[in-house]
Structure 1
């Protein structure tokens, strides 16, 4: 049985106030092509289907279009869990009725230990899929009356409950939307909690044949290659510029996992970070074949520039953010120079006086020079 693992679609996402809906449609069409080309039997979506709990209407329409292609036209089972960006109740509306169409929405935590059994016509193996929708420790504690105080203990409790429901000899997949300890995060991921106590251990999940994770946007695995994040569909922050976005193909046989493969997705526009002086970037942009990419520019010029964003957008129309580390560095050095002048100028002049006159300054001369240096320092500090 061949499964496609994907996650973190974030439909309706804005990137620096720019809608990514058409970019998302572009890569979702590629996802459909991969499903056809690689003969996928079922699709797993590990949370954050939408970017916010009340998604825009256009995002709902796009999801409806894609699910129609998967369930209605291709007859594929689709299993999705809710993530921390999704509204679990809204996402799960009509879930009981949609099962008949092959769409399994696992957003109700009270039913987390009931598996979806994939039994594909013409495929010799049956696979149980358990899904843990995103839930914070307070919700788990309230729902099951258990003493869990952090994400790790709550997740561990849920996984242990699932383990008691597994059928011996049948391959089992776990889906979860969580932050596995040691994972590599990106700027675009919303923290699950304040204070850094959001991670969960991978060890309780080790015995599953495959673990389809969502939440972290970079493709990666923790604890073993079978405990894996597929990553997001697109680059949703400039911190993800070097990530290879895609989906994961998972082959499961009667004896469990047999193969994992990454399939890349090609975005409509890339996300890039460009660094250099304005003149260099303008010259580069005039011949850049990918000038329509989404771009963050870091200018290294140390002098003030009139309307740098306007000039850059003449060659890079989708410059979305501008940083000026060169100016900050220049200001920092100016401040450092002032501090050096204030604290060491007298010693420097005293050394200069000794070398040129062959004598040391008198107390009166040192006092006069100290007063002069103090006056100059105050004048410089008052300058903008």
Structure 2
């Protein structure tokens, strides 16, 4: 049996106020192509299907299109759990009726220890899914003393260990933050105060653990305990990550192969660094000028409308940083103080940036007289 593990679709997400819905449709079509090309038998989605608990209609429509393509058109079962971004009740609407169509939506925490049994060509695999659950929910529902995420998750995993059939391969799905894993800027914290992590050790005994929540593909405590990562880059901290899905081959004896398959976005998320003029000149030879960009300018002097000039050649500049300007300020405190107390110097600098040449002597004298007059008038009226 071949499983495809994916997670953290975040349908409906905005990236610096830019809708990513078309980007998401593009990579999800690739996911469907992988299902066809790799003869995938079932798809596991480990939470955060939507970006918020009340998703926009366009995100719901896209999910419906993908699920129809998988479950109805291809007859490929899909097992999904809710994540911390999802509204569990909304996502789980109609779940009992949809099982007959091969869509298994696991959002009911009270039924977490009831597996989905998949059978392909004599290979039977049990899939247990733990929907996102905070300690308060576990404590209230099961009347146990679970004071943090680790205690709550450990209790749920141990319950599943007792419920599993010993001679049948078993997959665990969970949406959680495993201790020691690498986070990205685009992930919403599960709790305040840093007590959100769970241990990987209780999950070691499963044949495969399909994790969701962290957006970078990675493993913890063994190759079989892993995050597939999100299908797209959702922050500039993810620039270096290889986005994709994970394929898992399972026989009656257990997992035989695990591999990552890349997904390729329409527009990459990149970082450009350099001086403004050099970046604008280099745009002519950039093969992908419409990528989503963070630009880090190294110029050490004031610039007039740098983001407007950059967007003339790179239309999707989403964020601009000026570390060069701050470095120059730090290296020249005296000059900074001079500009603060000398309005004429500020005007000189502005005129040179706008006009491309310094003020001449007559212009400087006239401006100086005007500033003196304004200063005197302000003092007299104070």
TM-score higher than 0.5 = yes
Structure 1 residue 296: deviation in Å?
A: 0.5
State how 1:76-155 maps to structure 2 within 5 Å: 76-120=76-120, 123-155=121-153
Aligned to 2:155: 157
| 1:363 matched residue in structure 2 | none
Corresponding residue number in structure 2 for 1:30: 30
- Mapped to 1, the partners of 2:206 and 2:306 lie a distance apart of 54
Separation (CA, whole Å) in 1 of partners of 2:341 and 2:219 = 55
Aligned CA RMSD, in angstroms, stands at: 1.4
CA distance in 2, matches of 1:82, 1:136: 12
- Residue 201 of structure 1: how far off its partner (Å): 0.2
Pair 1:57–1:380, CA change in 2 (3 A): closer
Q: Give the aligned length.
A: 343
Q: Once the 2 structures are TM-superposed, how far is the Cα of residue 380 of structure 1 from its aligned partner?
A: 8.0
- Give the secondary structure class of the aligned counterpart of 2:157: helix
| TM-score, length of structure 2 as denominator length | 0.88
CA distance in 2, matches of 1:181, 1:264: 25
Deviation at 1:124, TM superposition (A): 1.9
Does the alignment pair 1:57 with 2:57? yes
Alpha-carbon separation, structure 2, partners of 1:272 and 1:17:
17
Q: Which residue of 1 aligns with 2:373?
A: none
SS at match of 2:30: helix
**1:333 positional shift:** 2.1
**Alignment correspondent of 1:75:** 75
Q: Which residue of 2 aligns with 1:8?
A: 8
CA distance in 1 between counterparts of 2:282 and 2:335 reads 37
User: Residue 287 of structure 1: CA displacement?
Assistant: 1.6
Equivalent residue, structure 1, for 2:320 = 322
CA distance in 2, matches of 1:143, 1:328: 53
Q: Distance in 2 between matches of 1:30 and 1:381?
A: 55
1:308 offset after TM fit, Å? Answer: 0.4
| Matched residue, 1:256 | 254
* 1:287 aligned partner: 285
Q: Which moved more, 1:325-334 or 1:173-182?
A: 325-334
Runs of 4+ residues over 3 Å off in structure 1:
379-384
How far is the alpha carbon of 1:238 from its aligned partner? 0.5
Gaps of 5+ in 2: 344-382
Alignment match, 2:209? 211
Out of 229, 235, 239, the position equivalent to 1:237 is 235
In structure 2, distance between residues paired with 1:334 and 1:260: 55
Answering whether residue 263 of structure 2 is matched by residue 265 of structure 1, we say yes
Q: Deviations over 1:317-349 (max 9, x none)?
A: 1000111111111122233x689xxxxxxxxxx
SS in 1 for 2:285: coil
SS at match of 2:172: strand
